[in-house]
Amino acid sequence: MESDNEKVSTKERLLVAAEKLFAEKGFQEVSLRDITKEANANVASVNYYFSSKDVLADEVITRHISPVNDARLEALETLKKKYGDAAFPLREILQAFMKPMVEQMHSSGLRSDLFGKVMGRCMADRGKKMPVQVEPQMKAVLGAFISELIKALPNLDAETVLWRLHFSFGVVAHTLLFSDRIADFTEMPLEGMGMDASLERVVDYCCGGLLAEVSAEQQGGEQ
Amino acid sequence: MESDNEKVSTKERLLVAAEKLFAEKGFQEVSLRDITKEANANVASVNYYFSSKDVLADEVITRHISPVNDARLEALETLKKKYGDAAFPLREILQAFMKPMVEQMHSSGLRSDLFGKVMGRCMADRGKKMPVQVEPQMKAVLGAFISELIKALPNLDAETVLWRLHFSFGVVAHTLLFSDRIADFTEMPLEGMGMDASLERVVDYCCGGLLAEVSAEQQGGEQ
DNA sequence: GTCTATAAAGAGATAGAC
DNA sequence: GTCTATCTCTTTATAGAC
């Protein structure tokens, strides 16, 4: 496992080692010594290539999340070509949002259950800071999806749509972070547990959630 | 703010200070010095009363989550008295699960947006370890709710119910953790943003998600 | 019970030889 | 680019005076 490390650059090995360890243990729990040992590199190499542990984490996050966000916007463009200015089917909007994440999970060399943890833990551990490159990206993506969701859900007011997108985000985040642990809380034997098998389940659930009726207590005058 | 600290015991002040700081910054990020300073206590006091930082965190988590779990089981008992062996209305099951959490949020002295973070962060930061007292509790609670959900959702197979409960957990967890940040990703002006205002929203959404149709790809022979 | 002082270990980062 | 050695800082935890 360590033997084919010689062909790839030290910088690359550090990134791979860091994302693996961050995913497994979290950002704070992993020391530069852990990372450089895992990468078969010298203790000083992180500072040589990245100048600090924090910048390393930024790069780890960015190089996973950026392609996902790009693919999301592309998927939305594809829907635009297919449906023009009409509202897109809700299910396809959700898939445009989620499928890129699952695909990135596969193209990254990580075990699929580690992918979500890289981002989740790096970000949670380091408090609010998202890499500066990523924040405007996320804003653009969420803005684009909110617009389409509002069009696809004409019976809901914009604030409710925003909340429900937020909830859907929670579903995905939680699933990415804990899909390997769902079995811990039950005696039931479970079959396909990967994020892979659960994508359709997630989409089903979120469709239902987004389309749900608004209960009496919430209804204002606007819808 | 520091002035009425003298009447409560040092141990209590340490717990309060710890939960506040853990919520704000996470478990790893907060040192014993931070905690004892916030609590107006001596640096050595945490080790005197709790013997380690880790045990302190266990107590912080346990004393919030235990009453919530107790109240959840009680709420389920109340439904049992009301409906006997018949299936409970889905909405009431969800409220039995979520309302105790919101109420605990209020009875804890914490700002409401901090409550969820205490548990979320302490647990995420420290890896998989949940306090030993809490794990069987959680198993009992989830088991009880799964049974009722299966009865309330006769069209769904048990595995799908389990997944969807898991998703609903994700909605709540994410909402607790980030309901104060939802506004960061939009230009929309938002009104009631607390966990309070959003409880009905969460219940609506989760009802919809749990009741959602199962898409073609997921359907096995069993339902 | 509360304090000071300090032990012991570990962290991130850097200087300078090679 | 890579290494060793080390600096500086902070952490948790403890020992012992009061």
At CA A3, angle to CA A17 and CA A67, rounded to 5? 40
Contact flag B26-A125 (C-beta cutoff 8 Å):
yes
The residues, any chain, with a CB within 8 Å of residue A144's CB and separated by 6 or more, are A73, A76
Residues of chain B positioned with their CB less than 8 A from the CB of A186: 142-143, 146, 162
Express as a percent the part of chain B with pLDDT over 70. 78
pLDDT band at A188 (very low <50, low <70, confident <90, very high): low
Structure confidence at residue A5 (pLDDT): 43
Is some CB atom of chain B closer than 8 A to the CB atom of A218? yes
Q: Which of A159-163, A183-187, B190-194 has the highest mean pLDDT?
A: A159-163
The residues, any chain, with a CB within 8 Å of residue B21's CB and separated by 6 or more, are B30, B34, B35, B38
Q: What is the pLDDT of residues A64-107, one digit of tens each?
A: 889 999 999 999 999 999 999 999 999 999 999 999 988 887 78
A206 CB inside 7 Å of strand C: no
- Residue numbers of chain B with a pLDDT score lower than 50: 1-5, 221-223
Residues 153-212 of B with CB under 8 A from A: 158-160, 162-164, 166-167, 169-175, 178, 181-182, 185-188, 190-191, 198, 200-212
Predicted structure pTM score: 0.89
Is some CB atom of chain B closer than 8 A to the CB atom of A221? no
Q: What is the pLDDT of residues B90-143, one digit of tens each?
A: 999 999 999 998 888 777 777 666 777 777 766 666 656 778 888 899 889 999
C-alpha–C-alpha distance, residues A218 and B201, integer Å: 7
Residues of chain B positioned with their CB less than 8 A from the CB of A200: 215, 217-218
Q: Which of B163, B200, B94 is nearest to A203 (CA)?
A: B163
pLDDT band at A223 (very low <50, low <70, confident <90, very high): very low
Structure confidence at residue B27 (pLDDT): 85
Cβ pair A140, A73 in contact under 8 A: yes
User: How far in angstroms lies nucleotide D2's C1' from the CA of residue A41?
Assistant: 9
Structure confidence at residue A222 (pLDDT): 42
Q: What is the pLDDT of residues A10-51, one digit of tens each?
A: 999 999 999 999 988 888 889 999 999 999 999 999 999 999
> Which residues lie near nucleic chain D, judged by CB under 7 A?
A 10, 41-45, 48; B 30-34, 43-44, 46-47, 51-54
